[in-house]
Amino acid sequence: MRAVIQRVSRASVTVEEKTISKIDSGLLILLGVEDADTNEDITWLSKKVANLRIFNDMEGIMNLSLLDINGDAIVVSQFTLHAAIKKGNRPSYIKAAKPEVAILLYEGFVKQLEIDLGEKVGTGIFGADMKVELLNDGPVTIIIDTKNKE
């Protein structure tokens, strides 16, 4: 799994001109799923996201997690995070999981994150044409790949 995690002051997801998810302070998580992903990836990534200390404490130091600030989250499926651009100029998405696999892992990640945060998590609509708006706070953007845990 590959995730782009953005600390936001606000974020929303709109489908067909209807806002389906909206948060204030928290995280917008763009999630890409590949065929090799498993429940272990879900568990590891969810715990990492919930406990990632990227929110400022009273001294202005990034020392607090989403759990610490009682912030919200939106998870949006994004297969393009697995784009391969080594050859030519047209990205290949060969590593991205097929929809029938990806949707189960995406939904599994959302459920696990809800458990880890103890609250409902906003989502996009899998496979839909979505409009994602955000006000990146910082900006703080972290990229995590469960196959490369650096």
- Catalytic residue, chosen from 38, 43, 55, 80, is 80
Global pTM value? 0.94
Active site residue 80: yes
pLDDT per residue as tens digits for the range 119-130: 999 999 998 999
Residues 6+ apart with CB under 8 A from 96: 32, 33, 34, 79, 80, 81, 82, 102
Q: Which domains does the chain have, with CATH numbers?
A: 2-145 (3.50.80.10)
Active site residue 19: no
- Catalytic residue, chosen from 6, 55, 79, 123, is 79
Whole-number pLDDT of residue 80: 85
Whole-number pLDDT of residue 83: 87
Helix axes 39-51, 99-117, angle to 10 degrees: 40
CA 122 from chain centre, in angstroms, equals 10
pLDDT per residue as tens digits for the range 64-82: 999 999 999 999 999 989 8
Torsion angle of C-alpha atoms 80, 123, 107, 116, degrees rounded to 10: 110
